[in-house]
């Protein structure tokens, strides 16, 4: 009787519990459904407001409006409040995006530059149709298919030179030294953009490779570089990711697959409220032997996929990271097609690396727009061996090697194309790179060149001074005291700018020699020259050549009590 009573009680309890669970489930689904309906109602109300304003602007505004242009401006204005990677793409933008991700386009393979309204060749891509046709650095493109290039926008010139594979383009080329002009008929072909412009041996034991982008081509290029460097006897490898803005996630994962053992956590993506969207693990056994030590170089220009490679290798204690704090771009975008000509690239999640760190720096959107403000603040994390690493956005290097201050004049010369233009103008005075290196008048000639072209370095406060001049001059045009005061400040700025050349002499000379090295021997010449006095590379070589120091950087330091115990 007692057993039967117990059974009846249990059955009754199960029945009641089932009803309660079912009720809770139905209630939860009802709440979820209600929340979804509220969201859709809010979207509908907002859409109606936007469309009403849009309609009246088009139909009632005092001037007739260009509707496609208005639409683009409204969309771009809306997106200004979001992160800079959420973008509206028109047809021409989609073509550029395809080139960045595919790593190839159809054209003749020329890097071009607009100098004083004259289209000029920076350099032909090695092995391209333009290179095979005999077009060289410094050549001037006078016409494209008979149409003059003078005053043409750079992007328009690029689009005219590109075209379908197998079609011809006629470039009228003027040689800068002889002044001869000739038509070159060049057949367009698929041009593969190299993401590794240089790799080679930094010393007999250490290989070096520079990765400038992550496209579909990067993993194969990296594997080939590893093979070549190991073939030359590299026991250690430096991977230089400085100023690499990133690219494809898949490309960075494929490169990590070449380095890490199989089945290790690499990257996860999390969306709204930390919802886990995807987890990526290494799929293959490492191509690069574990006996090869690695140094990864980063700086403030290293972003996205670069930070993933550096951060994942750091988290798995597989590489020592050197340089400066990386950019902190850990947002994931997806491209949604709107129609055949336009698309929206929208941020929908964040990257997280094995230690649990988010790469993204914290503030990236107008916070007034965020409805859910419950943000988990990153703090201190640990690598797989237990080493502490910071999680404040970006990747913090194991060894910080900062640039020595700023070089406003050197930067201004670069922005104005001064080094390139100087080499084009003076290249006929030298027969070889050795002659350039030994020319005692090189820097005097360059100083005269930048003075003639009015290239100056920026002095802090210069912009504010110009604004103050403009504002005060409107009210006090004839005020002699103001004019004298401005004159004194101007003379101080001129003095500061003239001092810049002496203060930045070594850096400017290095940039000039680098441009000449590129002129004579392309990227190989330029990198061979630069690597000799690159502070971060020199520090990486020091670490890689010291096995004890390299190992100590990748292990947890012993605590004082552990040391005492081991001595006992």
Retrieve residue 17's tokens: 């519990």
Token look-up 């040689």 returns 175
Distance CA 365, CA 343 (A): 21
Q: Is 304 a catalytic residue?
A: yes
Cα angle 422, 425, 429 (rounded to 5 degrees) comes to 105
The gap from C-alpha 183 to its chain's centroid, in whole angstroms, comes to 37
Token look-up 């990486």 returns 540
Its sign, for the CA torsion 15, 16, 20, 26, is positive
Give CA separation, 274 vs 351, 395, 528, in Å.
Answer: 11, 21, 46
Distance CA 295, CA 314 (A): 10
Retrieve residue 432's tokens: 């070889």
The strand pairing partners of 118, in sequence order, are: 115
Q: Is 315 a catalytic residue?
A: yes
The gap from C-alpha 303 to its chain's centroid, in whole angstroms, comes to 5
Catalytic residue among 194, 329, 456, 526: 329
Please say whether the beta carbons of 386 and 355 come within 8 A.
no
- Please enumerate in sequence order all residues whose Cβ is within 8 A of that of 272, keeping only pairs 6 or more positions apart, or say none: 372
Catalytic residue among 251, 304, 349, 396: 304
Retrieve residue 330's tokens: 């850990």
In terms of Cβ atoms closer than 10 Å to its own Cβ (0-12, 13-18, 19+), residue 218 is buried
Catalytic residue among 240, 254, 315, 324: 315
Please say whether the beta carbons of 168 and 181 come within 8 A.
no
Phi and psi of 175, rounded to 5°? -80, 125
Give CA separation, 544 vs 435, 473, 553, in Å.
Answer: 35, 60, 11
- Please enumerate in sequence order all residues whose Cβ is within 8 A of that of 244, keeping only pairs 6 or more positions apart, or say none: 211, 212, 213, 214, 301, 302, 303, 305, 306
The strand pairing partners of 298, in sequence order, are: 323
Give CA separation, 485 vs 19, 37, 443, 496, in Å.
Answer: 87, 66, 34, 17
Pairing of strands 380-382, 388-390: antiparallel
Q: Is 7 a catalytic residue?
A: no
**Residues identified as active-site:** 304, 315, 329
């Amino acid at each position: 009787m007692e057993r039967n009573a117990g059974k009846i009680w249990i059955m009754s309890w199960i029945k009641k519990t089932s009803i309660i669970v079912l009720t809770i489930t139905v209630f939860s689904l009802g709440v979820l459904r209600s929340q979804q309906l509220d969201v859709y109602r809010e979207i509908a109300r907002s859409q109606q407001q936007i469309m009403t304003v849009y309609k009246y602007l088009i139909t009632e505004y005092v001037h007739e409006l260009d509707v496609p242009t208005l639409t683009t401006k409204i969309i771009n204005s809306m997106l200004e409040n979001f992160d800079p990677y959420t973008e509206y793409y028109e047809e021409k933008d989609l073509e550029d995006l395809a080139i960045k991700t595919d790593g190839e386009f159809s054209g003749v393979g020329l890097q071009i530059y607009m100098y004083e309204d004259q289209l000029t060749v920076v350099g032909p891509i090695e092995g391209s149709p333009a290179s095979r046709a005999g077009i060289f650095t410094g050549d001037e493109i006078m016409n494209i298919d008979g149409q003059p290039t003078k005053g043409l926008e750079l992007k328009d010139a690029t689009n005219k030179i590109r075209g379908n594979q197998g079609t011809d383009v006629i470039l009228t080329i003027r040689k800068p030294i002889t002044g001869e002009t000739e038509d070159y008929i060049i057949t367009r072909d698929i041009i593969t953009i190299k993401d590794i412009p240089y790799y080679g041996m930094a010393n007999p034991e250490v290989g070096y490779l520079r990765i400038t982008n992550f496209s579909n081509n990067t993993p194969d290029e990296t594997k080939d570089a590893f093979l070549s460097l190991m073939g030359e006897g590299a026991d250690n490898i430096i991977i230089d990711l400085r100023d690499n803005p990133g690219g494809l996630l898949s490309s960075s994962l494929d490169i990590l697959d070449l380095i890490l053992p199989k089945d290790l956590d690499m990257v996860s993506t999390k969306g709204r409220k930390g919802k886990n969207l995807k987890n990526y693990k290494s799929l293959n056994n490492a191509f690069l032997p574990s006996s090869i030590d690695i140094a990864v170089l980063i700086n403030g220009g290293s972003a996205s996929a670069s930070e993933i490679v550096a951060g994942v290798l750091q988290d798995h204690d597989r590489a020592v990271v050197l340089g400066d704090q990386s950019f902190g771009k850990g947002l994931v975008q997806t491209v949604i097609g709107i129609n055949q000509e336009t698309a929206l690239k929208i941020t929908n999640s964040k990257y997280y690396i094995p230690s649990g760190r988010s790469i993204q720096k914290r503030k990236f959107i107008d916070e007034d727009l965020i409805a859910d403000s419950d943000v988990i603040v990153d703090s201190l994390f640990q690598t797989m061996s237990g080493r502490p690493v910071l999680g404040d956005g970006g990747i913090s290097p194991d060894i910080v090697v900062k640039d020595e201050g700023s070089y406003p004049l050197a930067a201004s010369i670069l922005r104005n194309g001064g080094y390139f233009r100087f080499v084009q103008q003076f290249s006929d005075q030298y027969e070889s790179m050795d002659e350039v290196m030994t020319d005692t008048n090189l820097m005097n000639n360059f100083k005269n060149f930048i003075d003639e072209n009015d290239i100056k370095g920026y002095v802090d406060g210069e912009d504010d001074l110009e604004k103050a001049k403009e504002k005060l001059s409107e009210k006090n045009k004839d005020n002699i005291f103001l004019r004298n005061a401005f004159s004194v400040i101007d003379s101080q700025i001129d003095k500061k700018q003239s001092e810049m050349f002496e203060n930045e002499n070594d850096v400017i000379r290095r940039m000039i020699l680098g441009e000449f090295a590129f002129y004579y021997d392309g990227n190989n010449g330029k990198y061979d020259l630069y690597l000799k006095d690159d502070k971060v590379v020199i520090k990486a070589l020091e670490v890689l050549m010291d096995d004890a120091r390299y190992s100590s950087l990748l292990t947890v330091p012993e605590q004082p009590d552990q040391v005492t115990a081991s001595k006992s």
